[in-house]
Amino acid sequence: MKTYHLIFNGRVQKVGFRYFVQKTAWEIGIFGWVRNNYDGSVETMFQGTPSNCRLFMEQIKTGPKTALVTQCQEQILDLLPFENFTIKG
């Protein structure tokens, strides 16, 4: 199973970004986690069906209305399956 690793930069902390990502993951059926990083970015790793992952990425790339994503770094990895979706840290 493919694991997607995304790092968002811009105005992505203190705007509800992690909660937006978690809610969207639950609605679509995505498993993984999301967290704030010390450098002001937000990082997420997730898994799901290929079509659900594409839909999830489309929906979270802009974030909530209060956010301003200026950059999104993407990486695809091969990792063990996640069982849920959580907010870390």
Q: Does residue 88 belong to any structural domain of this protein?
A: no
Domain of 15 in residue numbering reads as 2-80
Say yes or no to pLDDT of 22 above 80.
Answer: yes
pLDDT digits (tens, 9 = 90+) for 25-62: 999 999 999 999 999 999 999 999 999 999 999 999 99
Q: Give Cα 38 to chain centroid, integer Å.
A: 16
Q: Among the options 9, 35, 36, 52, which is catalytic?
A: 36
Nearest Cα to Cα of residue 61 among 17, 30, 19: 17
Question: Is 9 one of the annotated active-site residues of the chain?
Answer: no
57 φ, ψ (degrees, to nearest 5):
-65, -40
- Has residue 48 been placed in a domain? yes
- Report the CATH number that the domain containing residue 24 is assigned in CATH: 3.30.70.100
Render the burial of 10-25: b for 16+ CB within 10 Å, e for the rest: bebbebebbebbbebb
pTM above 0.75, yes or no: yes
Q: Does some domain include residue 87? A: no
What's the pLDDT at 40? 98
52 carries an active-site annotation: no
pLDDT of residue 27: 98
- Given the residues 18, 35, 54, 84, select the one marked as catalytic: 18
- Total domains, the chain: 1
